[in-house]
């Protein structure tokens, strides 16, 4: 079986799990991890199903999941990075802004592929099913997506729901959008014409990996607030440690303006 066929099988599995998670959402019960973040049984079920699917289709690949520990082979050609429900807090409250997120890193740990399934958060449609197979084109709901027109100003940005007190907005005169999903936050500057940038709190590799691939595909930047490049280091990826500081997702030409208008106080 060709490798692209395996990607398509995996994508179909994620679509099915998206439908399952959507049906289960109405009656889901939330619990909390030791760090205070929300967890549901659906997170655990989706995580297990995706891990087993990846193992069967890509037996030599790594998979990093928010909810399960797995072995890591430094010589593997591919590493899948899974967030079974990104935006679990929103999901557990019955809201629509959540997604199943699976990023794909190559051997050099560059984010080169993505599957993002948002069953209730489509763009002019009920759902969004995004597919970016490594080396292939980007599709949403089966239609190819092309690079949007360049943003000329920061009229609208996506913004983190955490640590807002750590920012100075006194120089910013635009609109801020917050929906509770890091993956969707970082995706939107690349695909929504009015969203110029995204600022995301320091988080984990699974909170950015898939949207990072889409940003890379269109030539956008994902950097830390000091403009250093986001890299999937041993500590960040294998050690599952939180990033050192917040992220900015935007076109390269907009980064300085984001930093100037929205000052990070640390």
Annotated binding site for Mg(2+): 66, 83, 85-86, 207
The answer to whether the CB of 87 falls within 8 A of the CB of 158 is no
Annotated binding site: 66, 83, 85-86, 207
Read off the tokens for 113.
């592929």
Cα end-to-end span (Å), the chain:
50
Read off the tokens for 223.
């950097």
Contacts of residue 90, Cβ cutoff 8 Å, sequence gap at least 6: 96, 97, 98, 179, 180, 181
Q: Which helix (H) or strand (E) holds 167?
A: strand 167-168
Q: Does residue 36 come out as left (phi exceeding 0), alpha (psi in the -120 to 50 range) or beta? A: left
Q: At what angle do helices 182-191 and 209-217 cross, to 10 degrees?
A: 10
Alpha helices in the chain (DSSP H): 3-24, 41-57, 88-92, 182-191, 209-217, 255-261
The answer to whether the CB of 199 falls within 8 A of the CB of 160 is yes
CA–centroid distance for 140 within its chain: 15
């Amino acid at each position: 079986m060709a490798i692209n066929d395996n990607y398509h099988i995996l994508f179909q599995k994620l679509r099915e799990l998206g439908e399952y998670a959507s049906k289960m959402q109405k009656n889901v019960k939330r619990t909390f991890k030791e760090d205070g973040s929300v967890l549901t049984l659906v997170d655990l079920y989706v995580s297990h199903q995706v891990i087993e699917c990846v193992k069967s289709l890509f037996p030599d690949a790594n998979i990093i999941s928010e909810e399960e520990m797995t072995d890591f082979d430094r010589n593997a050609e591919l590493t899948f990075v899974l967030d079974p429900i990104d935006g679990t807090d929103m999901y557990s409250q019955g809201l629509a802004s959540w997604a199943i997120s699976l990023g794909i890193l190559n051997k050099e740990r560059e984010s080169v592929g993505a599957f993002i399934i948002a069953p209730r958060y489509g763009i002019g449609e009920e759902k969004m099913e995004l597919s970016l197979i490594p080396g292939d084109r980007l599709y949403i709901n089966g239609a190819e997506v092309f690079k949007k027109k360049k943003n000329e100003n920061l009229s609208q940005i996506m913004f983190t729901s955490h640590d807002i007190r750590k920012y100075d907005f006194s120089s910013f005169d635009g609109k801020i959008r917050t929906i509770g999903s890091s993956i969707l936050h970082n995706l939107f500057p690349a695909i929504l014409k009015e969203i110029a940038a995204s600022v995301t709190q320091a988080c984990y590799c699974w909170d950015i990996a898939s949207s990072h691939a889409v940003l890379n595909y269109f030539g956008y930047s994902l950097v830390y607030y000091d403009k250093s490049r986001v890299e999937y280091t041993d500590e960040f990826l294998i050690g599952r440690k939180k990033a050192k500081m917040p992220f900015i997702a935007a076109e390269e030409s907009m980064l300085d303006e984001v930093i100037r208008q929205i000052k990070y106080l640390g």
